[in-house]
Structure formats: C-alpha cells, structure tokens
Amino acid sequence: MKADTITKSARKLSRSFRVTNGKKFRLQDFDPGNTLGFTDEDKPKAKKALAAGVKALADLQDKLYAQDQWAVLLIFQAMDAAGKDGAIKHVMSGINPQGCEVHSFKAPTSEELDHDYLWRCSKRVPERGRIGIFNRSYYEETLVVRVHPQILGKQKLPQKLLTKNIWDERHQDIRAFERYLNRNGVIVRKFFLHVSKEEQKNRFLERIDQREKNWKFSTTDSHERKYWDDYQSAYEEMIRATATQESPWYVIPADHKWFTRTVVAAAVIDALHSLDLAYPKVGKDQLAELAAAKAELLAE
Ligand code: ATP
Ligand code: MG
C-alpha cells in the first residue's frame, strides 16, 4: 500500500471515533462492538492493514526523531481487560525503541502523594522528538478517585479545597495542562478503549480458566466491576469536559481486539501526519563539510 493511501484511510477510519467537542458526547452513542461493518472474515485484511500502518508509523517516527521539535503524548485509559497493553504492544511494535517510552501509572506511592497529582505525570512527558505513552494517567484522578472518594482522603489535600466542585476543577486543570503542553509542541492524543461489560466478563473468565493468563487476573479487577455504572458515568463526564480540538479523545470500540488495534494505529498515524514532519534540511556549509569528509575518506 502506498504511503498516501495509508494516510488517507487512517484519517477516515480514526476520525469516525474522534471526539473534539464533548458538549454533545454521550457514551451510549458509541457501541463497543462496532467494527464499521467489517466481520471476522475481514480479520486477515485488517491484520495486513495494521502491518502496513505499523510500517508507516515507523517512517513517521523516524522523521519525528530526526526533526527533534515536536513530542507526542499518547494516553490510554480503559476498564480492566479492555486491551490497553495489547494495543500498546501491537501498535508500537515496529517503532524504534530509542524514540519511545511507556509509563504505567498505578496507585500513587507515598512520595507521589506528597505532591500535586500532576507531578508524577509531568516528569514523564516525552522529550522533543519522542513518543511517550501513558498506560493510565492523571485521568485516574477523575475516574478511580471519583468512584472511590475515600481515596481523596489519602491525598493530604487541605480540607478547604475538598468541595463539591473538585471534579470540575480537576477537569479544568487537566484541560489547561494539555493546552500548555500543546503550546509547547507536545501534542496529546487520548484513547478510551471502550469494552462492553459482557466482553469484560468473557475476558476475566478466560484469565481464570487459562493457566498462562492467570497472572493477568486479580480479584480487585472483579471487585471494580461492581462499580461499572459509576465508572461509565465518570468516563462520560471526563470525555465531555476534556475533549478538545487540540487534544481529542478517541472512543475506540474494544470488543474486537483486531479492530481496536487497527483504529489506534490509524489515529497515531493521523496525529503524526498532521505535524508535517520532514527530515532537517542540510545547508550549503554542511554540504561542503560532507563533501570534504568524503574526499578525506576516499583519499585514505
Ligand atoms: P493490567 O492490565 O496489567 O491489570 P493495570 O493498568 O490495570 O494493568 P494494575 O496494577 O492492575 O495495572 O492497576 C493499576 C491500578 O492503579 C488501577 O486499579 C488504577 O485504578 C490504580 N490507579 C492508577 N492511578 C491512580 C491514582 N491516581 N489513584 C488511585 N489509584 C490509581
Ligand atoms: Mg489491572
């Protein structure tokens, strides 16, 4: 497939799932089982498209790295077993590890709790020329913390700041942080892998039944499932409040892993392509230096 064709289809595919203005966003309008009409029979074709996409991504990343101006931050959020790890692994499989970093954010340590909640994440914002991936992120502050407000109690915040506005304030601060990053040349793309409750159950059962998947299952995961509806409404409000033109959310159907991965790759290609990346141009002086170096080598 030609690079141009890949770019165009990546744009078309990913934009069906992009949210740039959250005002009218409703999670129920997005079907976790959606595959845009492609069936399991199209899986081999989708795999081929993904492979071509991964190759295109590698070429774009090479330019991003060489140009050394923009940075790309990809944020992954999802319910357990929605396929974050697999999506990250497959989509990033072809790219140069030197230009990419993945950070996973778990329950904060006591050192982290001694700081504002963006502290641990802002330290991990990618350098120019790099792609940074957050496997969970500061968005947990309006998800798990909102669903279990007792976690807030451990954050050592002054009592006076714990008002009913805290979630709105967090959304505002996150928007402002992302706008700041954007104005500094760090582009942010956010992915919500949207899995259905039914499919999560199937995947949990698989993790319990298959020995080699046992390590992936924890009883806290099935405990969190009891709060499913609370999480869904927290996700909905979060997307409504933080989807912007510069830092869009992608609400990606996650019941079919092959489809999820193809759409994620497409969105990353579209993001990189929007940057008009190019290898740095070599000036006259540098060309003369290159010619001189070549002459010296040949004369050895
Ligand atoms: P896996 O797919 O391997 O299970 P995971 O991302 O679920 O990966 P875990 O170690 O199972 O990793 O879970 C991390 C946990 O940390 C999640 O339950 C998440 O909600 C929690 N967490 C992340 N950030 C925060 C936070 N700021 N405050 C409280 N809990 C958090
Ligand atoms: Mg987990």
Task: For residue range 262-277, list pLDDT tens digits in order.
Answer: 999 999 999 999 998 9
State mean pLDDT over 45-74.
93
CA of 136 to the centre of ligand 1 (A): 7
Indicate which atom in ligand 1 lies nearest the CA of residue 85. Answer: 2
* 144, 156, 222, 223, best to mutate for ligand 1 pocket (most atoms within 8 Å of CB): 144
Q: Tell me what pLDDT residue 261 has.
A: 95
Nearest CA to ligand 1 atom 31: 107
Q: Tell me what pLDDT residue 205 has.
A: 96
Q: Tell me what pLDDT residue 291 has.
A: 96
Q: Tell me what pLDDT residue 49 has.
A: 87
In this prediction, residue 1 has a pLDDT band, given cuts at 50, 70 and 90, of: confident
Is there a contact between 239 and 28 (Cβ–Cβ < 8 Å)? no
Q: Tell me what pLDDT residue 4 has.
A: 86
In this prediction, residue 46 has a pLDDT band, given cuts at 50, 70 and 90, of: confident
The reply to whether ligand 1 has any atom less than 6 angstroms from the CB of 83 is no
Using the structure block, give the residue that is written with the tokens 């601060």.
173
Flag the least confident range among 16-20, 92-96, 155-159, 206-210: 92-96
State mean pLDDT over 154-158.
94
pTM of the model: 0.96
